[in-house]
Amino acid sequence: MHVLVTGANGYLGSVLMQRLQASNIVTNVTALVRQPRRFLEKKYNYMDGAAIIDAQQLVNGKVSFDEIDIVCHLAAGRDIRVPGEIAGSLEFTNTLMTNLIQANVRGIINASSQAVYGVADPIWIEEGPIAPVTTYGMAKFAAELLVKTTALSMPSTRTTSLRMSKLVGPSPSMRVAPSEHPHVFAKSALLGRSLTIPGDGRQKLDFLDVRDAAAVMVSLIEMDPEFWPEIINVGSGQQVTLEATAQLVSDVALAQFGKPFQFNFVPSNRKYRNFGMSIARLGELLQWKASYSLDETVADILKRLN
């Protein structure tokens, strides 16, 4: 089995690369990345054994998919503060799909997001209403449509879009961004900083360990794409409040390093959306449930950041 991964140098991509190279079924892995020369450095050991191709080669029409069985499309712009980043990622997706129409790959796995559900009330199911409220969410839904349209032109190729909940946990490309609450809380605990958090702490969230997300993708790769649903929710299957998350980080940080996370909530006029997805379809398809509890994820985040 030969798998090509776009965004292989990203948060999820770097973990997926490790999992793919440990698979007994996947024999070849190709990474399609920007600035490929820097991944020859030893610190990028998750690229060991992988063929590395410059993403510009795709734009120039010089990437051959003749020997590729499965394409995992993870590359996506996230930062709405950078003009053109999200538009550029959609343009890249369009270029990739245009090239794949001419190929004969068995399957395409597209990494989407819970952000496509937007203002709809959870718990979300795959057939539920789509109502993205962010540029990122709209871009993810647009990418889903591009993948779906591509599939119509490829009768022998199956596609699936994975709507993932908020990814957290250790990764070679781990971020400490404002939306990754456990990462921010853990970093604050280690630095001995207290945080004032707007809101009442009752907002409900759905965190998924990035290693579990990668494991789902590998399981899909190792099964016959004929059985892939067009859309699959991939989450923890549990909701946790922001206050409970902060307290959990505090408890684990205290137990591991003697450094509790000091925090308090302050009233805010802003209305905070709740998150949560049904993973019944995923469970039926793969007999899957999350391997990492939030306690374990937080413990490993703290080890990674320390």
3-state secondary structure labels for all residues of the chain:
CEEEEECCCCHHHHHHHHHHHHCCCCCEEEEEECCHHHHHCCCCHHHCCCEEEEHHHHHCCCCCCCCCCEEEECCCCCCCCCCCHHHHHHHHHHHHHHHHHCCCCCEEEEEEEHHHCCCCCCCECCCCCCCCCCHHHHHHHHHHHHHHHHHHCCCCCEEEEEEECEEECCCCCCCCCCCCHHHHHHHHHHHCCEEEEECCCCCEECEEEHHHHHHHHHHHHCCCHHHCCCEEEECCCCCEEHHHHHHHHHHHHHHHHCCCCEEEEECCCCCCCCCCECCHHHHHHHCCCCCCCHHHHHHHHHHHHC
Give the tens place of pLDDT for each residue, 14-31.
999 999 988 999 999 999
Q: How much is the pTM?
A: 0.95
Percentage of the chain beyond pLDDT 90 is 73
Domains of the chain and CATH, by start: 2-167+207-234 (3.40.50.720), 169-206+238-279+286-305 (3.90.25.10)
Residue 37: pLDDT over 80: no
pLDDT at residue 47 is higher than 90: no
Q: Give residue 127's pLDDT band: very low, low, confident or very high (50, 70, 90).
A: very high
pLDDT tens per residue, range 214-267: 999 999 999 999 999 999 999 999 999 999 999 999 999 999 999 999 999 999
